Structure formats: structure tokens, C-alpha cells
């Protein structure tokens, strides 16, 4: 068993595809293995695991936590399909304000590693989706923040036009207004 690690256009964000063993009984795969991830340079320990269940056209995000409670995330879809997005918030980065996005599904089994210093969000493309993500820091209300999903300077090419948003997410500021 193993993993395929693919660095994206923002190379610190990594698309991960685990090997999957399938037979007449079903399938088996590893979702995380410390030694394999460390070989790829992913060495943040995960200390919290979250589970989100959402209906079609729900958009969650773009969320992040400020330092010293910044979070790296490992995002996995256990049922359904999402479009998962990471936005670079590292001011000293050449890709500051840029984004990458990937379709993650329970069928393609791909996962997205998003390091600290990035905002994260996703929209649901299937009738329902269940997302499990591991975090490198525990949730901290006093450090939470976010950016509006439709920020024109970031210009994310979401695969839906009229998402369903929480009141909180609908009222998040643009990137230029928080940094």
C-alpha cells in the first residue's frame, strides 16, 4: 500500500491518491501513514478530525485560523463529490491571493493536503457529500477568520453560480479588507 503525491500549481498544496486494494469483499486503503507523508515533506501532526455532511450546492468557506492557531488540513470525501479550494494567504509568497481547486470524490479517493497559511473552502456537487478532514491545530474561536467565497480579486472559478451559504459565510470580508 502507498500513496501518489502530486504537487499542484501552488506546490505546497498536495493532491494525494492512496493505493486501493479491491476484491470481491470490497476495498481497503490507507488514508494516512506518518512515514509516507513525511517522505513527501508533510510532517505536521494532526490533532483534530472533523466530519461535515452537506447537501448539493452548499458552499462552506473560505475559512482559516490566524497564527498561532493556524491549521494544516488533510481533506477526504467519504461519500459524494466536492470541489475543494485552497487560497494562499502567505503575504511573502509569490502565489499570495492565488487559489487551486480539485474535485474530490468518494470514487476517485483523492485527498487534498492544505498547509498552514491557506484559506479552505468547498462546494458540494453531488446530492449529498460527507467530508472528513484532519487538522494540525484544534479549533480556536478567537483565531477563526474567513474570506468571502466570491472575492473578485481571488476570482475562484467555482463550478456553481448560486451556492447556499451560511449567514456567517455570506458576510465574510474580501481579502483586501482583512490583511
pTM equals 0.95
Active site (annotated) includes residue 143: no
Asked whether residue 1 carries a pLDDT value surpassing 70, the answer given is no
Q: Which of 51, 96, 120, 133 is catalytic?
A: 133
Bridge partners (DSSP) of residue 117 are: none
User: The domain spanning residue 101 has which CATH number?
Assistant: 2.60.120.10
Rounded CA-CA distance 61/64 in Å is 8
pLDDT, tens digit (0-9, with 9 covering 90-100), for 93-137: 999 999 999 999 999 999 999 999 999 999 999 999 999 999 999
Instruction: Give pLDDT tens digits for 60-88.
Output: 999 999 999 999 999 999 999 999 999 99
Q: How many domains are contained in the chain? A: 1
List, in sequence order, every residue forming a beta bridge with 155; answer none if it has no partner.
none
Strand partners, 171: none
As a whole number of angstroms, the distance between CA 163 and CA 3 comes to: 33
The predicted-structure confidence for 41-55, as pLDDT tens digits, reads as follows 999 899 999 999 999
Tell whether omega for the bond before 62 is within 30 degrees of 0, i.e. cis. yes
CA distance 97 to 119: 10
Identify the active-site residue in 63, 96, 139, 143: 63
What is the domain range of residue 20? 3-177
Who contacts 94 (Cβ-Cβ below 8 Å, separation ≥6)?
none
113 carries an active-site annotation = no
Written in H, E and C, the secondary structure of 16-51 is EEECEEEECCEEEECCCCHHHHHHCCCCCCCCEEEE
CB proximity list for 171: less than 8 A, separation 6 or greater: none
Amino acid at each position: 500500500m502507498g500513496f501518489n503525491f502530486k504537487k499542484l500549481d501552488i506546490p505546497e498544496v498536495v493532491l494525494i491518491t492512496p493505493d486501493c486494494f479491491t476484491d470481491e469483499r470490497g476495498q481497503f486503503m490507507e488514508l494516512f501513514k506518518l512515514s509516507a507523508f513525511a517522505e513527501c515533506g508533510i510532517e505536521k501532526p494532526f490533532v483534530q478530525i472533523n466530519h461535515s455532511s452537506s447537501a448539493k450546492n452548499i458552499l462552506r468557506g473560505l475559512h482559516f485560523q490566524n497564527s498561532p492557531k493556524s491549521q494544516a488540513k488533510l481533506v477526504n470525501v467519504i461519500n459524494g463529490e466536492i470541489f475543494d479550494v485552497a487560497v494562499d494567504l502567505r503575504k511573502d509568497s509569490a502565489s499570495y491571493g492565488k487559489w487551486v481547486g480539485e474535485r474530490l470524490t468518494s470514487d476517485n479517493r483523492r485527498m487534498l493536503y492544505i498547509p498552514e497559511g491557506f484559506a479552505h473552502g468547498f462546494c458540494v456537487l453531488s446530492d449529498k457529500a460527507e467530508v472528513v478532514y484532519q487538522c494540525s491545530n484544534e479549533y480556536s474561536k478567537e483565531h477563526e477568520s474567513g474570506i468571502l467565497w466570491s472575492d473578485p480579486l481571488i476570482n475562484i472559478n467555482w463550478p456553481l453560480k448560486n451556492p447556499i451559504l451560511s449567514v456567517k459565510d455570506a458576510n465574510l470580508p474580501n481579502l483586501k479588507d482583512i490583511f
